[in-house]
Amino acid sequence: MCSAWAAAERAQWGVKVKEYVERQWTKILSVRVSLADFVFAKEVRLGTYRAAHGLVPPAAQVASRAMATDPRAEPRYGERVPYVVVHGEPGAQSPAPLLLHPPYSIMSVLVTDIAWLILRFFCGARNWHVSNPD
């Protein structure tokens, strides 16, 4: 099924794109990127999440914490709330500099977006990340 991608990869642009993506993943894994580049903003719909197993989206958790300190901080329905995923225990307050969580940033966000683009070429981007030498 990856034969179409193999043909495209032989082309100059395919090789350049793959090398660029792998360089970016290497930078992320070695934490040589700005934390500001990984601020996500997702829509929040408070009151619609089930608290089963404590699985509430990160943006909703950030909004809930902000409302705990200031009730006027409640986001509107569907408003985007910015957040960053960092190393550490959930809810921990760390005086040390925040460190990016590279596996989450790559697998949950970047690979998903790249896979959507590469599906046009019938090959998965997840294979790229798995075969990428660190």
Q: What is the pLDDT of residues 106-121, one digit of tens each?
A: 887 788 777 777 666 5
Give per-residue pLDDT as tens, 57-85: 888 888 888 889 888 888 888 889 988 87
Are 74 and 46 a contacting pair, CB within 8 Å? yes
Contacts of 63 (CB under 8 A, 6+ apart): 44, 46, 73, 74, 75, 81
pLDDT confidence tier of residue 105, bands split at 50, 70 and 90: confident
Domain ranges of the chain: 1-37+97-134, 40-83
Separation between Cα atoms, residue 100 and residue 32, nearest integer Å: 10
pLDDT at 21 > cutoff 70 = yes
Q: Cβ(109)–Cβ(127) under 8 Å? A: no
pLDDT of residue 122 exceeding 50: no
